[in-house]
Structure 1
Amino acid sequence: TVLNTNLFWPYPSTPPQENCTDKMAQWQMVHNVADTISEATHWVILHHHALFSDLMVEPQGGDTLRAFNVNPAPFFTTCDSLFELTGTWYPELVRVKQRGVEVVCIGGDFGMRAKQFEFQTPEGIWLLGSGINNSVSREYAPAYVTDFGPDHVLELWYQEGRLEWAFVPLGGE
């Protein structure tokens, strides 16, 4: 599943009343897949923004979110200000996981503070991310860009019902 998360409203205010049909269509797609997926070994969801950020807290109480994402605000996924992403979409993913289908969410644009990110929620949902920012001039980089280490890409391979991944330096570094 590929989501256009640029439609989502990531601020603690009322979501704008625009693209409402497209937003609702994405929710309906996620809901339909969650209702019908059964034969698959994995459900891979590709997205841009760091989704489910509020779930990424280390067991010792540390805030994993701050390691890679600049905006911890909730996402509103429709034009309804009560339709927050984690509260409405995450239970659908958990329902799929409980039926034995592995759920893997892969996000991009994580290069601001980390070149790679891997987290498994207590329910067993995988949240992965990678990002590239080394084309940003350090001289003009915003303060929230703190990682100028080597860029990495996420490489996936699937074989015999197993999905595996690795973060590989870009350019063979």
Structure 2
Amino acid sequence: MPRPFLLLTTFLLATLGCRYDHLPEPELEQAPGPVRERFLHLGHTYVPYLTYQDIDTFVERADYSRFAAVMLGGDLFPNTSLDPATLQWADSIFDFRDEKTLWAIGNHDYDDPWRVRDLVGRPLYYSWYHNGITFLVLDTQDSLSNIVGDQLLYARAVLDTVQESKQVFVLTHKMIWMADNGPLQAMIDSVSNGYYGSCFFCVNPNNFYTDIYPLLVQLKDRGVGVWCIAGDIGYKVRRFEHRTADDIRLLAGGMCSLCGGDNYYLEFSWTRAENRLEYSYRPIETLVE
């Protein structure tokens, strides 16, 4: 990376990332972690049509200490942040202050985003480095699915400074990567909870393919695995998988408890020494061992 650009990127991370107190990657590489680690992704965990504090019973009872990363795709409760008691209840389940809990906030979590920030102790977009993987969490409710302003500057800075990571996860609530992609856009209304349109919960026309995707392709060309994972799914289908022509994986997982049919969570198995990352959709019942 040219030194002037490196200095600029460092400045951006210092100014934008001062809210997190750490860079996305360590200055000195950490020793390899455990031989095998497990990561979890959950989306749309609330039980619809009941009270504002209802969440799937298996999600509520799970032991999340078994996972090295807990990725939450948003819409945890019907109105997660509307009432402080609900947010505290969610925190008692997921432990938002734990750095491994990565929450891509959704429209049902967005009643009071400042309350979320105060509790979690992080902005609504941030990054985390762990054992050879960079996790980038984006706020797709802000600016109607568009990643703009400081959030775009931050995302660029993180993705441009990936050096040690073997894998990169981009976590979102909305399936923003379905818009402006001909075959995928045609599927939005039959896959995503939010249909294609201009509303707050919709999958809106956005800048993912102009401003974010090219950076992901650059990483892939360097041999870094790239995974984009969304959580606004569950009412129509519970699982979604797509591999782009550039070998970037687009995944989504979400639930609809009491809606009938099976529910799933995404589990990843990571073996850093072999740079092997595998995933599977597992029945939600198996989350409670």
Aligned-residue sequence identity (percent) comes to 27
- 2:140 corresponds to which letter in structure 1? T
Distance 1:64 1:99 in 2: 31
In structure 1, stretches of 5+ residues that fail to align are 16-21, 77-83, 137-147
Offset from partner CA, 1:5-32 (integer Å, 9 cap, x none): 121314xxxx8xxxxxx95222112211
Distance 1:31 1:9 in 2: 19
Offset from partner CA, 1:127-164 (integer Å, 9 cap, x none): 1111111245xxxxxxxxxxx42111111111131111
The equivalent of 1:167 in structure 2 is: 281
Q: Kindly tell me the number of residue pairs found equivalent between the two proteins.
A: 142
Distance 1:89 1:105 in 2: 11
Distance 1:126 1:119 in 2: 6
Q: Report the structure number with the largest CA radius of gyration.
A: 2
Distance 2:182 2:173 in 1: 17
The equivalent of 1:102 in structure 2 is: 225
- 2:195 corresponds to which letter in structure 1? N
Q: Is the 1:57–1:65 Cα contact (8 Å) retained in structure 2?
A: no
- Alignment partner of 1:57 is 2:183: yes
RMSD (CA atoms): 2.6
The equivalent of 1:112 in structure 2 is: 235
Distance 1:66 1:122 in 2: 23
Q: Is the 1:38–1:99 Cα contact (8 Å) retained in structure 2?
A: no
3-state secondary structure, aligned to 2:246: coil
Question: Using a 3 Å threshold, how does the CA distance of structure 1 residues 110 and 34 change in structure 2: closer, same or farther?
Answer: same
- Alignment partner of 1:72 is 2:196: yes
Offset from partner CA, 1:52-79 (integer Å, 9 cap, x none): 1033727xxx944444124234444xxx
Distance 1:56 1:170 in 2: 32
The equivalent position to 2:255 in structure 1, one of 118, 132, 145, is 132
Q: How far is the alpha carbon of 1:86 from its aligned partner?
A: 2.0
Distance 2:257 2:262 in 1: 8
Structure richer in helix, relative to its length: 2
The equivalent of 1:27 in structure 2 is: 152
Question: Using a 3 Å threshold, how does the CA distance of structure 1 residues 158 and 8 change in structure 2: closer, same or farther?
Answer: farther
- Alignment partner of 1:47 is 2:172: yes
Give the TM-score normalised by structure 2: 0.44
Large movers: runs of 4+ above 4 Å: none
The equivalent position to 1:9 in structure 2, one of 140, 144, 147, is 144
